[in-house]
Structure formats: C-alpha cells, structure tokens
Chains A and B, each alone.
Chain A
Amino acid sequence: MLEETFRHFRECGRGREECQILWLSSWEKPEVIARIVHPKHAAHGGGFVLDDLWLNDFWMELGNTNIGIRFQVHTHPQQAFHSPTDDEFPIIHKPGFLSLVIPNFGLGPVGFKDAYLTEIQPNGGWQQVAISSRLVLT
C-alpha cells in the first residue's frame, strides 16, 4: 500500500507537481486500511485541487460500498508540513481524521522519513501527532 502510494506520487507528480492519495477502510473494520485511491485532480508545483465531478461520484461510491476515508496523503515539493491551504480544505472534517504529508514530491525512499502527520482536533484545529502513534505497517 505504501509502495503503491509512492508509485502514484512519482508517476503522477513526476517530481514537479504535488499529488494526493486517499487511504480508505471499511466501516466494519475502520482500523485497517483496505484500499487506496488516486483522486482525479489538477496540480502544479505548489498545490493541487480535486476534480469536482470526480468527488461527487466518489462520494456516492463510498456510500454504496460502506467505506470511509481515513487518511489523506499528499506530497510537498520540499519540506513536509501542513500549510494553511491544507488546514482549510481537507476532504474530511471530522475530529480524528488524519493528514500525512510526504516531502520532496515522494521521490525519497518509500517510508515516513521526514513525513508529517497531523490530526483534526475536536475544536477543528490540526495537531501534529507521531506517525508511530497512528500507523502500524503490517
């Protein structure tokens, strides 16, 4: 799953554009990431925006398959952090939702080195959390 995520970042972003991947799990087993999705999006070196029609179809698909979004994962050109745009326009707004940022357009080694994980708090703010506290690779 992690390798597939990085593969998308490299193929789609080509070291020049940001890219996003969503990690999904079923509502029966929300703690296990079961599927990844590469959203249709427009991107440039400093950002991306999801396609509106794609988002509608995807929302319906989630409802029809009883699947929810657990993580949004996206790349930054250099350092990984959560920008004001990242804070303001996530795909899910629920407290507990997680956003993982991968540095260097995902061109580095597959893994979480220098990555940044943050979580929506009950007050709507984002709080950085340790990756190991939320993610276990199996």
Chain B
Amino acid sequence: MDHIDQTGKHEDNDGRPPDRGGAVADENGCQPPDEALEHLRKAEHDLEKALEKEHEAEREIVQAEVEIKEAIREIEHAREFTIEILYDGVKKKFEVRIEETVKHLLDQAIGAFGPLPNPHTLALYKDGKELPDSQTIKAAGTKPHDVLLLRPSTVKGGA
C-alpha cells in the first residue's frame, strides 16, 4: 500500500518510490499513455533531486552557524589580533596582544607614523573616546579589526 510522506512523495511500504514503469491502470482498466508515465517518472526524479539539495542546504546552514559561532568566540576571546590605526588620513595595521597597555600601542603607532615629535600631545581614540594610557588593550575594549584614531588630545591656537 502506498502512503504520502511529508514532502508529498509517494512511497511503497519498503520506502522505495512506486514503480511506475510496470502495468498501471485506472479503475476502468485503461492504461495511461506512455508519455504521461514518462512525465510522472521525470517529476518524481526531479522531486528527489530537489529534496537532496534541500538536505544539503540544511547541512550547509548548520555548518555555517557553527563557523559563525566559532568566529564570534575568536573575536571575543582572541588574545592576539590585528587592528588599524589612522593618522592624517593614513591607515596602518598593528598586531596587538590583549595584555599590552594602550601606551605600548601608542608608542608603536607614533614610531610607525613618524617619528612624531611631542608625543605627549597625542593619544589613541576609540568610538570618540580617548583611551587611557595605563589600560590594557583588553580593558580598553579593543577588538580585532577595530580602527583607532591617533590624534592630538587638543588642537588649539592663540596669540
């Protein structure tokens, strides 16, 4: 006896698709035309292929979700990563470790962009706020791929 599974596909009790190639007759004993049978077989074949693709896509989604979780974990818990620092329109990459101080990174940046005289007037900024020199990279909330600004704390002039 045939049944219909959730996909609407007809299967025999043994799980195999019904054999439409044999003698199939309606209640009046009329044989369906060969062309119709061929269409039916093709449609069933296409359905099976589509289901395979659906299952494959589901597996890929699960895999992608695992990879996303892993990437988030790496970002949140990375001990060593790359950030960018911007000075006077130029971006440079720096490798940082979470236990390093902001001052250490600031000194590196000043050296890389210059050397810049009067370094005591410069600071690193993140999200519009000056990062305290004594903080560690971790405490400063710096994350992989962050862009920090190297800029003067104050710009002023006066006669």
Within 8 A of B (CB), among A75-118: 76-79, 81, 83, 85-86, 88-95
A62 on interface, CB distance cutoff 8 Å: yes
Q: Say whether, besides A93-B114, A94-B116, A74 and B157 are in contact (CB < 8 Å).
A: yes
Interface set of A (CB-CB < 8 Å, partner B): 18, 20, 27, 39, 46-50, 52-53, 55-56, 59-60, 62-63, 65-69, 72, 74, 76-79, 81, 83, 85-86, 88-95, 120-125
Interface set of B (CB-CB < 8 Å, partner A): 86, 88-91, 113-114, 116-119, 121-122, 125, 128, 147, 149, 151-152, 154-159
Pick 29 A–B contacts, CB within 8 A, sort by A.
A18-B157, A20-B157, A27-B90, A47-B156, A47-B157, A47-B159, A48-B157, A49-B156, A50-B156, A56-B125, A56-B149, A59-B151, A63-B89, A63-B147, A67-B89, A77-B159, A83-B159, A85-B158, A86-B158, A89-B152, A89-B154, A90-B152, A90-B155, A91-B152, A93-B114, A93-B117, A94-B88, A94-B116, A123-B117
| Bound: A27/B154 CA distance, A | 24
Least CB distance from A17 to B in Å reads: 11
| Bound: A52/B151 CA distance, A | 10
Q: Which secondary structure dominates where chain B touches chain A?
A: mixed
Chain B hits for A95, CB < 8 A = 114, 117
Chain A hits for B151, CB < 8 A = 55-56, 59
State the 5 A-B residue pairs at the shortest beta-carbon distance, nearest first. Answer: A124-B117, A47-B158, A62-B89, A49-B156, A85-B158
User: Which of A55, A56, A59, A78 interacts with B159 by CB under 8 Å?
Assistant: A78
User: Which of B117, B119, B159 interacts with A122 by CB under 8 Å?
Assistant: B117
Least CB distance from B92 to A in Å reads: 11
| Bound: A48/B118 CA distance, A | 20
| Bound: A66/B157 CA distance, A | 26
| Bound: A81/B159 CA distance, A | 8
| Bound: A77/B157 CA distance, A | 12
Q: Say whether, besides A93-B118, A93-B122, A120-B117, A68 and B88 are in contact (CB < 8 Å).
A: yes
